[in-house]
Amino acid sequence: MPRWRPMAAIVLRYFYLLRGSPARVVPLFAWVGIDIVLWGFISRFLNSVTPARLNFIPMLLGAVLLWDFLIRVMQGVTMAFFEDVWSRNFLNIFATPLTIAEYLGGLVFSSIATSIIGLFVMLTLANGLFGLRFFSYGIALGEFFLTLFLFGIALGVFASGIVMRLGPAAEWFIWPIPALLSPFAGVFYPLSTLPGWMQTISHALPPAYVFEGVRQIVAGGTPAGGTLAAAVALSIAYLVLACWWFARIYRQAVRTGLIARFSAESLT
């Protein structure tokens, strides 16, 4: 059973890193703020040149906000993990009685803290500058956020496992993951616009159900409750698989001695 104090220690360590480095704090809200402002003005422009019955602010800006939330959750996990990669701190951490479940739990709680900051900035800008009434999505909003949060954590843990296995140079494989998934997630367009093979992949991605639900709400409908529940269940399944993957890679690294040789030059 994971203990709370070791997980809190991981979070506290990350907090001290943030407190001592403005360069680490600014990215928590700067890029999401830029995205909201950029897409907010794009949405406002589209509203001015299209029929009055269309409102792109909840359709596009709401989608950007949700997608940036998922990215922020994923990066909250990976950035906390990368701090240990860059400082070559794994031997120090795992020489303690800390278990792998407690380490992952600490990464997750670190992600919660940083993603809340980004979400607060996005909601403030979207509502204050562009009048996005995000909570008008109703009760489905909770399932939207839960689905994206769980899937973002799963992506972060899986990506951390890749770097654990391949070494720090594999960090560059991690940053493009959200961009590679976004065409299949249907962030800005219905899945029906995609070719059949892409739709097949989309149906395996929980975010695709979230953005289809957003478009249904904007169109005046209601997302099917069973569909959103299936998206949450799918996200949980991915999270379990990601944790299993990370634990397996960690055990292999310990057994082969890779964790002791972990260095900025290793990619084998």
Please state the domain extents for the chain: 4-256
Q: What is the mean pLDDT of residues 170-178?
A: 89
| pLDDT above 60 (res 21) | yes
| pLDDT above 80 (res 268) | no
What mean pLDDT value characterizes the chain? 87
| pLDDT above 90 (res 219) | no
Residue 72's pLDDT is what? Answer: 93
Q: Which of 2-6, 107-111, 126-130, 243-247 bottoms out in mean pLDDT, i.e. has the lowest?
A: 2-6
Task: Choose from 5-9, 40-44, 92-96 the range with maximum mean pLDDT.
Answer: 40-44
Q: Which helix (H) or strand (E) holds 190?
A: none
pLDDT in tens, 53-93: 777 888 888 899 999 999 999 999 999 998 888 888 777 78
Residue 216's pLDDT is what? Answer: 85
Q: Which of 31-35, 204-208, 240-244 bottoms out in mean pLDDT, i.e. has the lowest?
A: 31-35
CA gap 218, 221 in Å, rounded = 7
Residue 50's pLDDT is what? Answer: 79
Q: What is the mean pLDDT of residues 218-226?
A: 75
Find out whether 36 and 127 touch, Cβ atoms under 8 Å: no
Find out whether 54 and 47 touch, Cβ atoms under 8 Å: yes
Residue 263's pLDDT is what? Answer: 52
Q: How many CA atoms lie within 13 A of 218 on its CB side?
A: 23
Q: Which of 81-95, 118-132, 162-176 bottoms out in mean pLDDT, i.e. has the lowest?
A: 81-95
Residue 145's pLDDT is what? Answer: 93
Q: What is the mean pLDDT of residues 122-141?
A: 83
Q: Give the position of tokens 């709680």.
A: 109
Q: What is the mean pLDDT of residues 233-252?
A: 94
- Termini Cα distance of the chain: 33
- Look up residue 74 and give its two tokens: 């994923």
| pLDDT above 90 (res 201) | yes
Residue 52's pLDDT is what? Answer: 66
pLDDT above 70 covers a percentage of the chain that reads 94
Q: How many CA atoms lie within 13 A of 238 on its CB side?
A: 23
Q: What is the mean pLDDT of residues 125-139?
A: 82
Nearest one of 143, 114, 123, 110 to 64, comparing CA atoms: 123
Q: What is the mean pLDDT of residues 132-149?
A: 83
Residue 106's pLDDT is what? Answer: 92
